[in-house]
Structure 1
Amino acid sequence: MTESAPVVTGAAVRCVPAVPSWVSLMAGDLESATDFYGRLLGWTFSRGPDRWGPYVRALAGGVAVAGLSGATDLQLPVAWTAYFGTEDADMVSERVRARGGTVAIGPLGFDAGRLAIAADRAGAPFGIWEGDRERGAVLHTLPGAPVWIELRTPDAFDSALFYGGVFGWDDRPAGEFDVRFEHERVVLRTAGRSVAALVTSTDPEARPSWNVYFSVPDADATVELADRLGADVLGEVRDSPYGRVADLRDPQGGRFSVLGPR
């Protein structure tokens, strides 16, 4: 199994402990994926290290905000993976195992730090990234970047206890993190912004997963463009407490969402 690592040069995003700090896509056809997302989100691309297969960095406003890899194993699903920052990938990996989760890869060393791929005890995959905590932009503040991630899982409260324990949400300085229940979600807030949520899914057939939301200036226009580019539009564009949202599936089957102002 191969995953893209958050390896960036030049303008980069910051590894923020306990907060979603990077996303990666495992695509079957990397060239098609960069064409689709470049046209949809206005990204440009630069080549990254290809030790584990073809890999590029997606740039929004000149800042690397995501990684895209070409699958070397056709059995791998096309999917986005969200990475949480940490000060210590080894310690967090041990916490994952101690709380009933699994660690499939790593922690491994990369130019940008240390990386692991894990799954929570409900089976939802996520990444762990130990990187530069001092320099770089904060991911969810950048236009065209991932602005929000949402876990859809059978028991949001149990999952919140898992992630809270793994990343120490309650053990950090007062006011650094705020975990609250609002709008039928368990919501993680930091630095005055909502950055992630956990939702109890009512679909017994749905696989637990983190869904990535990309910031766009106009969700309706983005959905129209996605449809023209061959994506599947999964339901209506709708208003939410956090903005105007839509769920999409890219032409290779990778699910994601877009979030724009109301």
Structure 2
Amino acid sequence: MTPGDPRTVPEPAVLSGASAPCWVHLVTRDLGDAQLFYGAVLGWTFRLGPLGRDFVMARSEGVPVAGIGAVASAYQVAVAWMPYFSVRDADVVAARIRERSGTVAVGPLTVGQGRAVLAADRDGASFGVWEWTGRAATLAPSGNRAHAWLRLRTRDAFDAAIFYGEVLGWESGEPGGCDIAYVREEVLVRCNGRPLARISSGAVEAAPDPQVRPHWQVQFPVADVDATVLAAERNGGTLMERRAVQHGSEATLRDPDGGLFTVTDVRSPADVHDG
């Protein structure tokens, strides 16, 4: 068991192409505290999975949206949110990561019916990959809006797009797969026709502030950003940054254990431009 433990990736539920963002996971210290906080702030409910008392599956309106594992203390790792991407062959992807100066921390590791890799890109942003077998979970269930989307804050968006494109097979033309589009100075990632991630330049690798260092930012759409920020503060969270963006706003919050996440009233990364 390690940070972003892949054993909390759900059983595949929706047909999806390889290379798509498929799951998000929180590594924390206290499972009870995390459930109280995210239940109050995001309205999630929780269900124990088959992995033991340190892991739960978070649900929104009955749909699995995230995993939470209380393993930060046991493994002496930072509290953090991590995204996963679906892939066809974890061995191939692990080799591609190493070939392109990324780091493979764990795996490929066999987990139930799948295999996982925990890695970091060449600028230090952590992510995971999940080998799928024909059906894969997705951040945008068929017929529903995306329950989460991603934003990579990195040193150079175009360089990062090349890294992830080569590693994950973006632009391969595979049915249901991912492609990229250049929007102003950023990169938009669309999977199966749906915008699910955005890549932005400007992060500084050596910065002391974790918000400034390269990292994948997990974004949760909410109906009311102000109300969500207030709920977070009432339940021990901290507002780290508030930003106006085209078509709405977003707020980066820190949970009581230090986990950073973002809430936004913008429904898709295709609609985000800094205001």
- TM-score under structure 2 normalisation? 0.84
Aligned to 2:233: 227
Cα shift readout 1:17-72 (whole Å, capped 9, x = no counterpart): 11110011100111111111111111111112336x71111112222221101124
Match of 2:164 in 1: 163
**Offset at residue 16 of structure 1 (A):** 4.2
Partner of 1:116: 117
CA distance in 2, matches of 1:81, 1:189: 19
Give the conservation status (yes or no) of the 8 Å contact 1:216–1:222: yes
What residue is the counterpart of 1:70 in the other structure?
70
Distance verdict in 2 for CA 1:247–1:183, change over 3 Å? farther
Partner of 1:61: 61
Are the counterparts in 1 of residues 154 and 214 from structure 2 also a CA contact under 8 Å?
Answer: yes
Number of residue pairs aligned between Structure 1 and Structure 2: 257
TM alignment of 1:145-164, pairs within 5 A: 145-146=147-148, 148-164=149-165
Distance 1:143 1:60, change over 3 A: farther
CA contact (8 A) 2:87 2:132 kept: yes
User: Is 1:42–1:144's contact at 8 Å kept on the other side of the alignment?
Assistant: no
Structure 1's 164 and 135: CA in aligned 2 closer, same or farther, altered over 3 A? closer
Which amino acid in the other structure matches residue 95 of structure 1? Answer: R
- Pick from 256, 260, 263: which aligns with 1:258? 263
Cα deviation per residue 1:228-253 (whole Å; 9 max; x = unaligned)?
11211122252335x43211111111
Corresponding residue to 1:215 among 221, 239, 242 = 221
Unmatched tracts of structure 2, length 5 or more = 268-275
Match of 2:273 in 1: none
Q: CA deviation at 1:13?
A: 5.6
**RMSD (CA atoms):** 2.5
Identity %: 43
String of CA shifts for 1:97-155, please: whole Å, max 9, x gaps: 1111111001111124111100111111100011354366x323556832x11111111
User: What TM-score comes out, normalization by structure 1 length?
Assistant: 0.88
Runs of 4+ that moved beyond 6 A: none
* 8 Å CA contact 2:13, 2:135 repeated in 1: no
